[in-house]
Amino acid sequence: MNDWHDPWGGATRKGPHGHGRIDDVDDFDDFDDFDDFDDFDGLDGDGGGWSTPVPEPGSPLPPFRPSLSLQRTRFAIDLRDASTATVDVDHLSGKASLYGDDGHVQTSDMPARFPLGSDRIEVAASRYGMQRIHLVRADGSQRRLDPAPGTPEHWRAQLSRRHPGLGRALAVGAVIVLTINLVLLAPQLLDLVTHLPLWADRFAPFASPIDLPAGVNAALTLTAGLAGIERALTFRHHRLLDAETEGIDA
């Protein structure tokens, strides 16, 4: 990942004169200029029954357990006042929790916006991984938060730094897989949809020139899912290329 910065060594330190508190949480309900996040509606998880209960205000940030990497992830960033903001994401429940140096501040359904004075942190995710986890400053500049050690995003970033050739190969491979899947599966899906009564009663159905065995289609769907995870871990997204994995997610 670009602009690598590791705030984790100082995640619990306080700024000078006791600073390090995240303010203006009461402004969280103001979504007037949050229009760009409307595209993320409907990404909330549906597995809240399996998720950790919402933390109590001021409760400390719990240790991150890599064994929960399929359910949770975590990111942090050092702020200008020398404090650290940490966002703990629960993919199953579709919730994100903000922690400051003084403990838990806010938990919200995703997509979420956590105000930090004049700045804010924007969070959105799908079941494949994060789509957005950025600090947006008052001047409009943005910076992605850094993944915590032990998270899949951290592991993937380390892989690219230590083995850049392999990292690029995985990224290119994911694009190739999704392109092939789009070419092979899209006509079959269109054939299926246009033969439904709602469409077929009004328009001529589409006949797909491609008709693959169910086992091949299942393998293509599986590889598309893996490619979607790879792209989510590296924060890559394209409306057309990733349309199939978004459909799987839905």
pLDDT digits (tens, 9 = 90+) for 223-238: 888 888 888 888 886 6
pLDDT digits (tens, 9 = 90+) for 88-120: 998 888 899 999 988 899 999 989 999 998 899
pLDDT digits (tens, 9 = 90+) for 186-240: 788 888 888 788 777 788 888 888 888 888 888 988 888 888 888 888 888 666 6
Q: How far apart are CA 107 and CA 16, in angstroms?
A: 27
pTM across the whole model: 0.64
SS3 40: helix
Q: How far apart are CA 229 and CA 126, in angstroms?
A: 10
Place of tokens 């893996």: 226
Tell me how many degrees the CA angle 241-243-245 measures, rounded to the nearest 5: 100
pLDDT digits (tens, 9 = 90+) for 20-68: 334 443 333 333 344 444 444 433 434 333 446 778 788 898 888 878 7
Check pLDDT > 50 for residue 11: no
What is the length of the chain?
250
- pLDDT for res 52: 62
Structure token digits, residue 165: 């050739």
Q: Report strand pairing: 146-147 vs 84-90.
A: unpaired
Q: How far apart are CA 105 and CA 27, in angstroms?
A: 13
- pLDDT for res 2: 41
- CA trace torsion 62, 67, 71, 76 (10° rounding): 50
Cβ neighbours of 111 (radius 10 Å): 24
Structure token digits, residue 35: 């229009």
Segments making up each domain of the chain, as ranges? 8-148, 163-249
Check pLDDT > 60 for residue 86: yes
Name the least confident of 1-15, 59-73, 124-138, 196-210: 1-15
Cβ neighbours of 192 (radius 10 Å): 12
Mean pLDDT in residue range 242-249: 51
